[in-house]
Structure 1
Amino acid sequence: MNISFENPDKINGLMTLTFEKEDYQPAVDKQLKDYRKKANVPGFRPGQVPMGMIKRQFGTSVKMDVVNKLLGEKLYEYVRENKIQMLGEPLPSDKQKMIDPEKDETMEFVFDIAVAPEFKAEMTADDTVDYYNIEVDDALVEKQVDMFCSRTGHHEKVEAYDPAQRDLLKGDLRELDAEGNVKENGITVEGAVMMPEYIKVEEQKNLFNGAKLGDIITFNPRKAYPDNDSEVSSLLKIDKEKVAEMTSDFTYQVNEVSRFVKAEVNQELFDQVFGKDEVKDEAAFRQKIAEGIKEQLAVETDYKFLLDTRAYIENKVGELQFPDALLKRIMQNNNKDKDEKFVEDNYEASIKELKWHLIKEQLVAANEIKVDDKDIKNVAIESARAQFAQYGMTNVPDEYLDKYADDMLKERKNIDSLVDRAIDVKLIAALKGIVKLNEKTMSLDDFNKMMQEK
């Protein structure tokens, strides 16, 4: 067996693997003997089928199976031992000669191999990267308090509808005929729930202003929601396809008016948000909210730091030469259901991500970053905690978070992203300890505006 590798321009490699008969024949003979032991051929007892018959029937396919397996093993073994940073999969070269598996004993395989460009990515104390601290001010805390009060509030019954309060109405709908009388066999919906505040047409919306229990309002659902067939369909309990032909007026008799009342800032709210007796007064409640906001925002500012570090070091590394023609072939091979336009449209973005991937690999190696199961589990737990926090659930028990994280880890599709996140967490911490941080303080609104612009 002989393996040679040519790489004159450093990024386009040509690997040639030559197998002689003695390289693969022992494995072929062994597999054919196994076939003979198991072969079930009429007229022969098990294990007694002539080897000549076995070779004629299975010889060529077994030979190619053995050679293909050997080919893969030796190719990747050579790449690994010679530390070739291969991009994507090797592709058969146009220099490949035809092989007759039945006749040829010596087989030569030629592959094109895309090789990563050589460069050095390094961050030192001489490098300066912006780091944003988001100011947790009273207004931000107040907004969070209001959110908790809203999420733990309740509805209470009132006598009259007030549009400023976004009250909820419950009543009976009845379809009218052209003369304004209740239509015989018309649509009737009992206990229909409405929030007039969301009616788009002011003329129709205003009909409900000041409505009291027992009042009967005449309105036109189609005119009230001219651009929302789904709303009309849901309100009248009819198929969406029938909305277009629905032009009737309806009466709505108000049977109930409910008003949403926010929770009070008291011990009951403290316990609901942070757990029984974790917080004893409003000052401590606001302080704990501020601390929670700061922790959540630290994730955002660290993410921004990683983005800025990426832009900084990509600029520092400069332009890199890639084997474009070969990488486009690989991309096309990996997306066989797509046409050439897909490759052309997406190649530039793919190369941008590839450059960052190669840079990140060097940074991870230079800082000896490794992640284990515990690191990945911690990231899953923090991800679960963040998801619950979005819904105002800040006192989720640790055992529940632990179970939620375990469920995430059971899904194979989640593993790669969790591993990447675990690596990012450690990389961010390492880089923050190396580079000079140009710290800046700004409001959350300004930070969000900056991120949207990016």
Structure 2
Amino acid sequence: MNVNFEKIDQVNATLTISFVEEDYKNDVKKQLAELGQRRPLKGFRPGHVPASLLERNFGPQVRSEVIDRKVSHALTEYIVNNHVPVLGEPMLDKDTKVDLNTEKEFSFKFELGLAPEFDVTVDKSVKVPYYNIEVSQEMIDRQNETLRKRYGKQVPGEVAAEDSMLRGSLVELDAEGNEKADGIKAERTVISPQYLKDEEQKAKFVGAKVGDVVVFNPGKATGGNENEMAAMLNVDKEQAAVESDFSMKVDEILVNQDAELNQEFFDNVLGKGQAATEEEYLSKLKDMLAAQLKNDSNYRFTLDVEKVLRDQVGELEMPDEFLKRFLASRNEELDAEKVEEQYPTTKKHLQWQLIKDKVAKALSVKVEVEDKMRLARYFAAQQFAQYGMSNLPDDVIDNYAHKLLEDARSSNDIEERAFDDKLFAAIKQAVTLEEKAVTVDEFNQLFAEQ
């Protein structure tokens, strides 16, 4: 067997693998003999099928399998042993033709796309802006108000607000505004004005008092959604397509009462025992907001790092035509026009990935098992928090984190995120940060200016 690597230019090459019969005939004989043991032909005992008969029946198929394995092994071995920086995957040259039935010597020519050679510096000589977002009193007050509403409760009230719940009985009305004979009636219906889709209908409930009668149109209030109308009128969906007005006698109003600033509230928000006084709670709340804003600062840092390093490296030469063919080969739905349309984005992403990989190697960044588990636990806790479930026991978080890592797709996403987190943390330590204090508005303006 002969393997020949030929570099066409800095980012394109070919790899040709050639075989003569001596390279594969013994493997073919061995596999045919094993086949005779496993799948004996009619009239012959296992292991006693003549070699000529095995060759006639299975020779081309076995020869194809043997050569395919040898080609794949030789290709991989050469690339790995010689550290060839391949982009995508090798593609068989379109001019390679092989006839296993008539030929005994074969040659397979592969096209290779190569990663460009470049240098990148990540040390204290490299300066990157880092924006520290200030936590304002307005932000603390707004977050405190949001949390008090979230952990508040509903209590009986006399006047309905937009977020109140009104209970009462519904009666269908005729064109004159009187109770309709054989019309729909619904007892103990619940309506919350904030969920009504029509502002005029919503306004009829806001300000209503216990004992009031509100006349409204369910069709307009629900935007004609028959499922919502059926639930409101307590009827089947088929009966819900009505255009009549209804009256609702308000029997009960439940209003939202903000949570009191007490120990129960502090524990719900921060975790048990984290704050004992309002002063401690507000201080912790400020720290929470600062941590959230730090995530925003770090995200902005990743964008600025990318700009600084791209500017330093310059435009990387890529095997454009090879990569376009590779993209088309991986997705039959991509025609030439779509490949041309998508390639600039793919190229930009690939160039940045090459830069990141080079920096990761220079800074010895590697993702360990504990990195993935730590991030999986974070994602698990975040998902539970979306449903209002916070401060869950560790074993619940751990179990869900393990499930995330068992799923191939989510595990891959977690590994990519863990890599980026460790990489940018390492870059942050390696470069010189040009720190700037900014308000939220000033920070947001940075994105508007891009």
Q: TM-score, normalised by structure 1?
A: 0.91
Specify the alignment match of 2:205 in structure 1. Answer: 208
Displacement of 1:290: 2.1
Specify the alignment match of 1:336 in structure 2. Answer: 332
Q: Is the 8 A contact 1:121 1:363 kept in 2?
A: yes
The answer to whether structure 1 residue 248 and structure 2 residue 244 are counterparts is yes
> Residues of 1 paired with 2:134 and 2:114: CA distance?
46
Displacement of 1:271: 1.9
Specify the alignment match of 1:359 in structure 2. Answer: 355
For residues 22-421 of structure 1, what are the structure 2 equivalents within 5 Å? 22-96=22-96, 98-161=97-160, 163=161, 166-199=163-196, 201-226=198-223, 231-232=228-229, 234-236=231-233, 246-388=242-384, 395-421=391-417
> Residues of 2 paired with 1:26 and 1:81: CA distance?
26
> Residues of 1 paired with 2:448 and 2:370: CA distance?
33
Q: Pairwise CA RMSD of aligned residues?
A: 2.4
Q: For residues 220-243 of structure 1, give each alpha carbon's deviation from its aligned partner in whole angstroms, at most 9, with x where no partner exists.
A: 223345576665454345677987
Displacement of 1:109: 0.6
Q: Is the 8 A contact 1:154 1:262 kept in 2?
A: yes
The one-letter amino acid paired with 1:334 is R
> Residues of 2 paired with 1:299 and 1:204: CA distance?
42
Q: 68-77 or 406-415, which moves further after superposition?
A: 406-415
Q: Is the 8 A contact 1:221 1:250 kept in 2?
A: yes
Q: 38-47 or 265-274, which moves further after superposition?
A: 38-47
Give structure 2 stretches of 5+ with no counterpart: none
Specify the alignment match of 2:440 in structure 1. Answer: 444
Displacement of 1:152: 1.0
Q: For residues 183-223 of structure 1, give each alpha carbon's deviation from its aligned partner in whole angstroms, at most 9, with x where no partner exists.
A: 34433333322123454555433433543333322222233
* Identity level (%): 38
The answer to whether structure 1 residue 425 and structure 2 residue 421 are counterparts is yes
The one-letter amino acid paired with 1:252 is M
Q: Secondary structure at the match of 1:351?
A: helix
Q: 129-138 or 220-229, which moves further after superposition?
A: 220-229
Task: Summarize the Cα distance change of 1:295–1:110 in structure 2 as closer, same or farther, 3 Å threshold.
Answer: same
Displacement of 1:35: 0.4
Give structure 1 stretches of 5+ with no counterpart: none
The one-letter amino acid paired with 1:28 is V
Displacement of 1:288: 1.7
Q: Is the 8 A contact 2:204 2:214 kept in 1?
A: yes
The one-letter amino acid paired with 2:402 is D
Q: Secondary structure at the match of 1:303?
A: helix
Task: Summarize the Cα distance change of 1:22–1:281 in structure 2 as closer, same or farther, 3 Å threshold.
Answer: same
Task: Summarize the Cα distance change of 1:402–1:444 in structure 2 as closer, same or farther, 3 Å threshold.
Answer: farther
Q: Secondary structure at the match of 2:113?
A: strand
Q: Is the 8 A contact 2:33 2:47 kept in 1?
A: no
Q: Is the 8 A contact 1:274 1:394 kept in 2?
A: no
Q: Is the 8 A contact 1:273 1:395 kept in 2?
A: no
Q: 354-363 or 226-235, which moves further after superposition?
A: 226-235
Displacement of 1:11: 1.1
Q: 246-255 or 305-314, which moves further after superposition?
A: 246-255
Displacement of 1:415: 1.5
Q: Secondary structure at the match of 2:178?
A: coil
Q: Is the 8 A contact 1:273 1:392 kept in 2?
A: no
Q: 289-298 or 278-287, which moves further after superposition?
A: 289-298
Task: Summarize the Cα distance change of 1:209–1:128 in structure 2 as closer, same or farther, 3 Å threshold.
Answer: closer
Task: Summarize the Cα distance change of 1:237–1:315 in structure 2 as closer, same or farther, 3 Å threshold.
Answer: farther
Displacement of 1:105: 1.0
Q: Is the 8 A contact 1:273 1:393 kept in 2?
A: no
> Residues of 2 paired with 1:186 and 1:449: CA distance?
57
Q: 437-446 or 393-402, which moves further after superposition?
A: 393-402
Q: Secondary structure at the match of 1:433?
A: helix
The one-letter amino acid paired with 2:65 is D
> Residues of 1 paired with 2:292 and 2:397: CA distance?
16
Q: For residues 335-376 of structure 1, give each alpha carbon's deviation from its aligned partner in whole angstroms, at most 9, with x where no partner exists.
A: 113322221221100000000010011000001111211111
Q: Is the 8 A contact 2:113 2:319 kept in 1?
A: yes
Q: 363-372 or 209-218, which moves further after superposition?
A: 209-218
Q: For residues 13-35 of structure 1, give each alpha carbon's deviation from its aligned partner in whole angstroms, at most 9, with x where no partner exists.
A: 11111011121112111111100
Q: TM-score, normalised by structure 2?
A: 0.92
Displacement of 1:293: 2.5
Q: Is the 8 A contact 2:404 2:410 kept in 1?
A: yes
> Residues of 1 paired with 2:322 and 2:448: CA distance?
36
Q: For residues 295-353 of structure 1, give each alpha carbon's deviation from its aligned partner in whole angstroms, at most 9, with x where no partner exists.
A: 33323222221121011111111112212111111000111133222212211000000
Q: Is the 8 A contact 1:152 1:263 kept in 2?
A: yes
Q: Is the 8 A contact 2:197 2:220 kept in 1?
A: no
Task: Summarize the Cα distance change of 1:452–1:255 in structure 2 as closer, same or farther, 3 Å threshold.
Answer: farther
The answer to whether structure 1 residue 10 and structure 2 residue 10 are counterparts is yes
The one-letter amino acid paired with 2:189 is A
Q: 118-127 or 342-351, which moves further after superposition?
A: 118-127
> Residues of 1 paired with 2:228 and 2:104: CA distance?
74
